[in-house]
């Protein structure tokens, strides 16, 4: 049996293009849906990175004092101001939902249908709780504190525009994820992934691998929030 000679492959940049152009090398054994999700998440990473880099640039270049996040996002509990209380709870809820999503994927591949579905529901409830607390945060800043995208009573006006843009874009991702979590939970309860029943939005059949792909999206959303929490709320 002849041995494959790697020296005959193109070298340098041509070799990189050659490998990427052949699914027999780069994407061999990788499901199509999972590969497409990774590509989507990579593109989404660039968008969030642009947002956060723009935030750091604006904060470093403004001559007006940047608002103190501990004061802006603090809550008063029994007459005592607690800095970043709501944000800490939101972060805990979202990180916990990442754990329930991982458990759902595990039970999915073990084909323990009901447990998988219930953990998908738990993950969706975590996402709904996060979005609900974010809605409370927005309403407090808009109606009580008077923060607007073009105006901010706490300091630099850019603060409001970046806050609504970054957290709104992330909240949209969480909301979309919650919708698909509920759809997948319903499909799992019905046994669609066991019988190969056709799904929503497409005529393609699916299996429990789809839950893992959804899990990639959900873990990405959670990871992005960690960076938003660090750069926007703690910095």
**pLDDT tens digits for range 37-75:** 999 999 999 999 999 999 999 999 988 999 988 888 888
- Total number of domains in the chain: 1
- Which residue bears the tokens 């299996």? 207
pLDDT at 16 over 80: no
* CATH of residue 214: 1.20.120.80
Q: Which two tokens stand for residue 92?
A: 């805990």
pLDDT band at 26 (very low <50, low <70, confident <90, very high): low
Whether 71 is in a domain gets the answer: yes
Cα–Cα nearest to 72, from 140, 168, 165, 164? 140
* Residue 115 confidence (pLDDT): 96
Please state the pTM of the whole predicted model: 0.85
pLDDT in tens, 155-206: 898 999 999 999 999 999 999 999 999 999 999 998 888 887 776 655 566 7
Whether 46 is in a domain gets the answer: yes
* Residue 15 confidence (pLDDT): 66
Structural domain including 148 reads 32-234
């Amino acid at each position: 049996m002849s041995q494959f000679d790697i020296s005959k492959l193109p070298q340098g940049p041509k070799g990189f293009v050659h490998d990427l152009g052949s699914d027999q090398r780069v994407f061999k054994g990788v499901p199509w849906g999972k590969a497409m999700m990774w590509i989507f998440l990579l593109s989404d990473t660039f968008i969030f990175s642009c947002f956060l880099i723009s935030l750091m640039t604006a904060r470093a270049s403004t001559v007006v004092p940047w608002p103190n996040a501990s004061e802006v996002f603090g809550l008063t509990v029994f007459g005592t101001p607690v800095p970043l209380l709501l944000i800490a709870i939101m972060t805990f809820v979202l990180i916990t939902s990442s754990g329930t999503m991982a458990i759902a994927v595990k039970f999915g591949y073990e084909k323990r249908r009901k447990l998988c579905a219930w953990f998908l529901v738990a993950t969706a409830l975590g996402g709904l709780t996060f979005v609900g607390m974010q809605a409370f945060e927005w309403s407090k800043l808009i109606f009580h504190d008077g923060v607007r995208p073009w105006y901010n009573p706490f300091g630099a006006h850019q603060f409001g525009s970046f806050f609504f843009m970054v957290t709104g874009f992330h909240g949209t991702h969480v909301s979309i994820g919650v919708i698909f979590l509920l759809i997948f939970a319903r499909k799992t309860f019905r046994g669609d992934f066991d019988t190969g029943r056709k799904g929503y939005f497409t005529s393609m059949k699916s299996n429990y691998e789809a839950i893992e792909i959804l899990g990639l999206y959900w873990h990405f959303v959670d990871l992005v929030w960690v960076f938003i929490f660090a750069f926007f709320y703690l910095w």
